[in-house]
Amino acid sequence: MPTSVSAQQSRLLVGQLRRSQVVRDYERAFRDTTGLPIALRPVESFDLPHRGDPKESPFCALVTRANRSCAACLQFQRQVETRARLQPRTLKCFAGLCDSAVPVRVGENLIAFLQTGQVLVNRPSRARFARATRQLVKWGAEIDLRQLEEAYFQTRVVTARQYEAMLRLLTIFAQHLSTLSNQLMVQSSAAEAPAIARARTLIAERHSEELTLTSVAQAVNMSAFYFCKMFKKATGMTFTDYLARVRVEKVKNLLLNPHMRASEAAYEVGFQSLSQFNRVFRRIVGESTSSYRERVRTGSTGLTGDVAAG
């Protein structure tokens, strides 16, 4: 089971990602291509993911206006996210619409979710609509049923195969966001002391050397104890973890060369032990170098999400 970064860290990371041009461009392209909403959400979100989205389902927008049905939709979203902590998952709501979440992870840490949905994979039927309205009446929702019916039968319909392809797009993008998140964790935007900035520059330039906390602290004229404390405060990471992440990012770039062996890449960026490298790479990336290289080469998404009745 993956661990999660704190809710505050997740919100900060997601905020930075949302402001990036690549995320804005991808969201626009996804909406234009699929006709579906898309949301990048931090862990432990307590709101509806697609409210106000340009592609929000008119049916869902009507349903969530009523307090009782809105609460049910919020609970359903929690179920989707709970199921999707390890891998992409799709559930069907009370009205038969699919909602999906794809986890964004950095190694073992769950960072955020990419979500889409509000779509049918079968033609809407009057029998299904009748069941949905009975549930809404049971909840005590006050909705214009004629307007609701019109919205329901205008719900976007795709085949299961098409929807699977859309989720693969999200899964590929989640992998890209994983890399961006790791870079943001390395390149913290927080203000920091000039000595820490010099230390990060030194690490970036000499990461392939046998760097130690003591040697870097001496290079920036700080005691090892004080440097350790200040570095953790500025970056949110220990010196060892920060250096490991810098090196792993360099390895990932080197592995794009099909002729470069993983062991050669490891030693080139400064790892002194192959066993240590393999352990660190798996912890940070969440998979082995061979799995990572194969996934990058083939574009495999690892999508195994199932559809369960909600």
Q: CATH code at 92?
A: 3.30.450
Taking the mean position of all CA atoms in its chain, how far away is CA 227?
A: 32
Instruction: At 98, give phi and psi (nearest 5°).
Output: -85, 140
In a domain, 303, yes or no: no
88 near 103, Cβ under 8 Å? yes
Burial status of residue 66 (CB atoms within 10 A of its CB: 0-12, 13-18, 19 or more): middle
Q: Please state the pTM of the whole predicted model.
A: 0.64
Tens of pLDDT along the chain (310 residues) come to 455 667 777 888 888 899 889 999 999 999 999 999 999 999 888 788 998 899 999 999 999 887 777 788 888 888 998 888 888 999 999 999 999 999 998 877 888 999 999 999 999 999 999 999 999 988 888 888 899 999 999 999 999 999 999 999 999 999 899 888 887 777 654 455 788 888 988 998 999 998 999 999 999 999 999 899 888 888 778 999 999 999 998 998 898 888 889 999 999 999 999 999 999 998 888 888 988 888 777 654 444 444 443 3
Tokens of 239: 């010196």
Let me know if residue 117 belongs to a domain: yes
CATH number at residue 255: 1.10.10.60
Number of domains in the chain: 2
Q: Domain boundary at 184, 215, 234, which?
A: 184
Query: Does 137 share its domain with 207?
Result: no
Q: Left if phi > 0, otherwise alpha if psi is -120 to 50, otherwise beta: which for 215?
A: alpha
Return the C-alpha torsion angle 182, 188, 189, 192, nearest 10. -170
| Domain region containing 36 | 3-184
Tell me how many degrees the CA angle 44-178-25 measures, rounded to the nearest 5.
90
- What is the number of other CB atoms lying within 10 angstroms of the CB of residue 251? 25
